[in-house]
Chains A and B, each alone.
Chain A
């Protein structure tokens, strides 16, 4: 067995035991690309399942031999009697005499006692609360996503201007939406993305450019945003990024793309505000603009999170 196989096997064994750190777990996807890894993984997992089968055969024999009763599923665990952790200890009931461990909390409450929920009920309750929180968050997100049509209508009069790629596919008030929709359907998004972004930069009217970018957010075009993120991540500082960009590249847009990712759903709703920001930012030096924008967007990012 070579060293590669050995290292794969060690990794797989640790992975199957759940003994890896999150960083190490993340490596799994990369290893999975290798057919050798997949073979080893399949065999290793199969050997665990086979071992379980053997163990279960033994188990069935022992159940039969000892008369162990697998049907005794009712009841609860005696943690109130043996709990070692302070917070798990049940307080004394208000009346004399201890409650039976099996006594249901609902029954106890109906008799006027107040007893703490046992862990089983507590876990159910926490799942229910989490579910409620998730549903509320989903509804709020949905509401945020769907509150934009009126805002779109307010800026539609700005649309007749366009350039390059956008001009070819749009000729009415839904031009940007259609462009975005076509982009989404394009089979080779990777190839088309740089062109689209260049075309968006070419739009002379910054309001339209902003609107198109907002549409990209709205259309969940995270693919393009990720492209920007990747480009941004290559540079250590904002200055080095700026130096590497063509003269006509709008750095503000780049930063907005980066920071507005979280605000994607509400980008159109904040259209007027963004324009105000731009007007303000264009009146200062670039460095100040960047700092101001970062501060502002960071704050929003924080609040929306």
Chain B
């Protein structure tokens, strides 16, 4: 199998993954941790491709798979940490310019996430897929525009509209 991800593509995806995940668990995982996890994710994907004898996915799908495997590994790793090492509450504010890590199991964030999940699941499937692709997989509007045969600006408006809807339904009292 000689047409796997090039090293350049690998680096670009890795940097994107690390930049993105570093903001979600900023104090728990270092850049090195995240790079290792990403590499492990690509190895798993590569081994599956080798087993199948071909490059399994391309473009958006490939990125979704690799990011999905990476997040999966990261969650396992995060759950394996001792509770005290996992997170500090969000209102611990700043630590050298970094925000305390997100703790979905032990704070009011959990409530917000539960509500958001309910709202997201209730969206029309295509809208939800586009929103998730932008937010979770960091897929650009340009790439999505090709995939869904819609304009990039139209997709941007759609995602902003969903954002506003989520914030509104989350409770006006939360946002001034």
Contacts and interface: CB of A to CB of B under 8 A. Distances in A.
Asked whether A and B interact, the reply is yes
A64 interface: no
A301 B49 CA distance: 56
Interface string B112-133: 1100110011000000100110
Main secondary structure of the interface of B (DSSP, over half): helix
Interface string A23-55: 001101100100110011111011111111111
Given A42-B90, A43-B170, A49 B22 contact: no
Interface string B143-168: 00000000000000000000110110
B24 A54 contact: no
A41 B131 CA distance: 18
B54 interface: no
B20 interface: yes
Contact of A54 (B47, B104, B109, B136): B136
Given A83-B7, A84-B7, A47 B166 contact: yes
Q: How large is the interface on A (under 10, 10 to 19, 20 to 34, 35 or more residues)?
A: 35 or more
A265 B68 CA distance: 50
Contact of B175 (A5, A19, A76, A123): A5
Nearest to B76: A70
A39 B175 contact: yes
Interface stretch (A10-18, A109-117, A209-217, A241-249): A10-18
B86 interface: no
Nearest to B11: A85
Given A51-B120, A84-B6, A69 B47 contact: yes
Given A52-B136, A72-B44, A82-B7, A17 B99 contact: no
A76 B50 CA distance: 12
Contacts of B48: 68-69, 72
Contact of A58 (B23, B132, B138, B164): B132
Interface string A166-180: 000000000000000
Q: How large is the interface on B (under 10, 10 to 19, 20 to 34, 35 or more residues)?
A: 35 or more
Contacts of B67: 55
A90 B36 CA distance: 22
Interface string B78-117: 0000000000001001100101001010000100110011
A35 B174 CA distance: 10
Contacts of B102: 45-46, 49
A103 B22 CA distance: 33
A82 B94 contact: no
A50 B8 contact: no
Contacts of A88: 7
B131 A75 contact: no
Contacts of B142: none
Nearest to B18: A18
A49 B104 contact: yes
A36 B94 contact: no
Nearest to A16: B23
A17 B20 contact: yes
B51 A69 contact: yes
Contacts of B23: 15-18, 45
B27 interface: no
Per CB-CB distance, the 6 closest pairs between chain A and chain B, nearest first, are A18-B19, A51-B135, A72-B47, A50-B116, A59-B68, A55-B136
Interface of A: 1, 5, 9, 15-19, 25-26, 28-29, 32, 35-36, 39-43, 45-56, 58-59, 62, 68-70, 72-79, 81-85, 88, 120, 123, 127
Given A28-B97, A123-B35, 19 more contacts: A16-B20, A26-B97, A28-B94, A32-B93, A36-B176, A42-B109, A47-B116, A49-B104, A49-B109, A52-B136, A54-B121, A55-B67, A58-B132, A59-B71, A62-B65, A68-B65, A72-B48, A73-B40, A82-B4
